[in-house]
Chain A
Amino acid sequence: MFDCQLGHYLTYHHVSQDFFRRHRGKYDGLIVPLSIACVFKQGTGGFVLTLNKQYALDPRTPILQADFDRQSIRRAHLEIADVHGTAVRHIFASRPLRPADVSPLAADVAASVLSFQKEFAEQSAEKVDKYAALLGEEVRTAYGGPHFLVPPYFKSSGRNDAWYPVSLNLARAAVHEKENYGLAPVLHITPGFPENEFARMAEDYDNRGFDGLVIFINDLQEYIAPSATLTKYANLIALLQGLGKPLFGLFGGYFTLLLRKIGLGCFSNAVGYGEYRDSGYHEGGQAVRRYYIPKLHRYFTDTHAETLLNIVGGTVLRCACAVCRRRRPLTDYTSQELLDHFLNARLTELQHAGATDLSELLDQLDDTREALENYPMLIDPCSHLGRWVEALRPFGKRLART
């Protein structure tokens, strides 16, 4: 189900429609957050449908379990609650949801969230004409539904966490509502979820009604996470791969991209920001101008990235994509150019990783790290490379043996 050409989805954002249109060939599909699908329903639907890419809607349910000041609830979050049903909406307006609130409602909540996803295409038809005209395409009589359905899900820190069975029950309830669609429940866990419970979790989700599994480690910042956490993540992927179901990584950067070598089918990230996410984050905010350094496989603020390139000099860290070919300070790039550059870099990474075995990819990370060892003040910006290698090297060796 997630066995896509590139293995890469982008998280849709309504302010970057032109970007998604111009780069249509550089990603497989879109993950549309329910918040955006609700608040900008016609615009989002019209745009996404006429784009003719695979898409799925992320219910973003965990915001409903987040504890924050109820005075500052955003409209988008109220709309998310609405989609989960009247009872949920009523509770969420005054306090965070508790497992006991949702358990008795599991069937209704799952049905309501899946209905929204199944009806998204037909209810978004009003603006299809506008977007089809922008794309220079004829309006079709009918546009397809999502590539797969995503049941509502909650974050849990272990199998003993009271939210864990709630998510599992929601996924099971969703099986009865999926009709002819593919269904992919989200295993949304904290980085501290005990590794010795992974096998039982895999058994829990070994359900014939689940056509694929989405893995979402909360707030996993790959370039900061210790190698033990990254190893755990890789072990989870390797274990789940044994179920024979397609696997999708919701949010991730280059480390997650490398997990495609050990069984992950596809992964997604937002453009310019959003390679990780805290599902309980309830505030908005302005995006920081960031530049992706392909050789280091991570973002930096534009001033930070410019400093790195200047310190190292030469072409070691320089990107040769169409945007970067014309040499100028990164701080002079427009916001659009920063995004364009990122997607060019990500495409190159995907293609390169697709044609190279894991051990060699890890050797390349090691080479970069060693090349920068002469610069003691670069230890911090580059330290993630060593941790990624440490976490994945055993898999590289295993793959080489087979």
Chain B
Amino acid sequence: MKSRACKPPALGQDATPTPAAMQQSLPLELGGREPTRSGAHSRGGLPARDTVQHLWFCVWLPQLPLEAVVSTGAPGTPLAVVEEHHGIHRILMADAEALAAGVMPGQAANAALALLPTLQLEERSPPREQQALEELAAWLERFSSFVSMAGPDVLLLEIAGSLRLFGGLQALRQALSRGLRELGFAAALAIAPTPLAATWLARASRRVCIRDTENLGPALRRLPLACLDWPASLCEALAGMGVATVGDCLRLPREGFTRRFGARCLLDLDRALGHLADPRSSWRAPEHFCGDYEMTTEQADRKLLLNICEELLQAHESFLLARQLGTQRLSFSFFHFKGPATELRLGCARAERSAARWFDLLRIRFERLVLPEPVIAVRLRGGMTQPLQAESGDLPFHGRPGASQRRFSIAQLAERLIARIGDQSVQATTMVAEHRPQYAWRPHSLLADWSCNTHAEPPPYLQRPLWMLPEPALLPADSGYPVHQGCRLRLVDGPERLETGWWDEDGISRDYYTALRPDGRRLWVFRNRNHESSWYLHGYFG
């Protein structure tokens, strides 16, 4: 390995593939045999740990458009995915039965139907493909802590760290390919020390396993340029020059190649061969849940919808259980065939994952939910998740002797109330250190800031009423005294002068009095000092 700077003419380092390296390539599907290693490095099948740092497992899903489609027909119905090109629907992909009947990719949809009248045609759906890919990526997370999405149909796993856990490369590969088969994906697999090489090898359906960087070059050389995912115009230009494989590319002078085709392709080649670092970003399964339930026909049966919701909540619970998380918010969307979806939001005072508890809240709300139309699909979206705090239950002998068991905690009570009558209608209050009576307290939601309380203590000598009016009410005056509902009030205590509030432009200048009506009611009134004769009622001494 000489440095490239001294030896610029060729892109690759080794001009010819060594036979020893080629033996490292072996079919992936041949189970039960550890890859044999030949040459001087062979040490009884143990991985040469000093030379291999990373090992990338590539999963390429060439039939993803077909696999992402949910077949609605009877089992065994031939299926094909169509894509629109210039107004004509053409077959993009067809399953084995359809292919056997003569349906071919590129065929017009009508021609395919003429060949096979029972053929079920589905429009290609990239969002659904992405969703299927993400579901698969989430499943693959069990094999590696590092799963990366390398394209719309390519997933990469870093498996060097997982080999020991899964009992070696062979066992891991078998488990993976078996799992993929069970999930119904036809995947092309390849293993290589660089992510790009693994991707290219998988795309070329080479089914190889390369563990050392020095063997990469020989394996890549034979790959056709079509599997590199380079722009088609570039591949055509290269083909016109007689360059058909990666090996042909590597033989070209580096400077000329860069000048003609841009630096990106050269960088790709260097990355694939391991000469340049190729950092990948790790994909993480989303920490919030989103589950859909689609129905074949519109449904208006509320009992059935409730059952569907329960099913979704159970899926939500198992999603959170695997992550030891809980969530405080949930939202259900009920989709209609026409018109906007009906939304239903649920909140919980504490992070919660139990499907039974969420279902309890849902039932309260669902009773009064108005569904304008039948429902075609239901979606459950989980809110922001947070680590779940375990709650310790009471021991049976704690509790009041003879007392009935506590049915639910205050948090659960608040949730039930909020679920039925709304967030704004259930409040806790807290004191605020403030002399102006209307600002001396503040309501707060039970869901948002649980147990927040300032320790402002009102002095006991101040007269404060137990009832406060939402807004001070203007009182008429009779020769300087306030009049309430036709009765002249007797001022029995006061004045207590409360002034200023310059900092928020709501300054007051008031004299507060305790006033007594002849019928025994005690009122809290004030005289506005800004307007000499105006009296206001602000509360009752309840």
A and B from one assembly?
no
Question: Which A residues fall within an 8 A CB radius of B?
Answer: none
Question: Which B residues fall within an 8 A CB radius of A?
Answer: none
